[in-house]
Structure 1
Amino acid sequence: MVIVASVLFVLAIVVGSVAVAGLTGRLPRNRWAGVRTPETLASEETFALANRIAGPTMAAAALLLVIGGIGALTLGTVGGFGVAAVAVVAALVTAAYGGTVGARAAAAAAPAGCGDACGCGSAPSPDASEASATISAITTESRADAAAAADCGEDSCGSCSLKGACLPH
């Protein structure tokens, strides 16, 4: 049971550290820790907002893991495993709830364009001449499709936000 408790305590430290970093705004945008959805990764501001909102539930999840670790140490083998399992499930549900709320807030606060995750406004790529040739070869029909996309709020960056949902198939 000492191994189970140790694993829960280490997980609690990791989750608690992410919670504190998210609450204080010190969690850098990354692909490993925090609330990571396309909307939250679109900009530094949305990532910080989502993780600041999810921070309290992440801290609660860390506390649940600590409680599970204490239960695993103090109860017998059967009771300790039971408390540890319940604590892990409760921590996952709690963290998932906070992540969902944070992701929704980030989606609501996301800029109208694609943010800086799609490369909008970035320097041209080495294949810019190919892209330029492709753009100049747009037919009248695809221009109508582009106009329909503009009505959907996807006019400058492609289909980052709606993934092509407004375009005819």
Structure 2
Amino acid sequence: MPMWTAVLVGAVLLGAGGLTPYVVARAANGRLARNRWVGVRTPGTLASDGAWRSGHAAARPWALAAGALMALAGLASLVIGAASGSPGMFALAVVGGAALGSVVLVAGAVRADAAARGDVKR
């Protein structure tokens, strides 16, 4: 496997791992206005500015966990790509970490939508 592949994939996953909790935290603090481009965009969170903030506040721990999983997958891809170059292990680290991070992120979006709709006590 070419080294540039490990570096590119690792950089993308590390970037996603850092950007995800950052965006959610900004939205929860009111520093990212309600929009249709970035953030947790569900019918509940888009209903009002207050719903946007409370939904993102509920999603914050989930976004942090998802970001950590994606960043770990990125680091693992860099280490595996540099050390062994094993395509199977590389694919397992990338796909497994990204998939697990995505599942956690979707769970956070479900929690955010419920909180924004007032279904969850905070």
Q: What is the TM-score normalised by the length of structure 2?
A: 0.81
Distance 1:97 1:57 in 2: 7
Larger Rg: 1
Deviation of residue 40 (structure 1)? 1.5
Distance 2:90 2:25 in 1: 28
Over aligned residue pairs, what C-alpha RMSD do you find? Answer: 1.5
Structure 1 contact 18–58 (Cα < 8 Å) conserved: no
Residue of structure 1 equivalent to 2:48 = 43
Deviation of residue 23 (structure 1)? 4.0
Structure with the greater relative contact order (CA < 8 A, sep ≥ 6): 1 or 2? 2
Structure 1 contact 22–55 (Cα < 8 Å) conserved: no
Q: 2:70 aligns with which of 60, 65, 74?
A: 65
Matched length: 109
Structure 2 contact 28–55 (Cα < 8 Å) conserved: no
CA deviations 1:26-56 (Å, max 9, x no partner) are 2210111222122221110001000010011
Residue of structure 2 equivalent to 1:107 = 117
Gaps of 5+ in 1: 110-169
Structure 2 contact 45–113 (Cα < 8 Å) conserved: yes
CA deviations 1:127-164 (Å, max 9, x no partner) are xxxxxxxxxxxxxxxxxxxxxxxxxxxxxxxxxxxxxx
Matched, 1:79 2:84: no
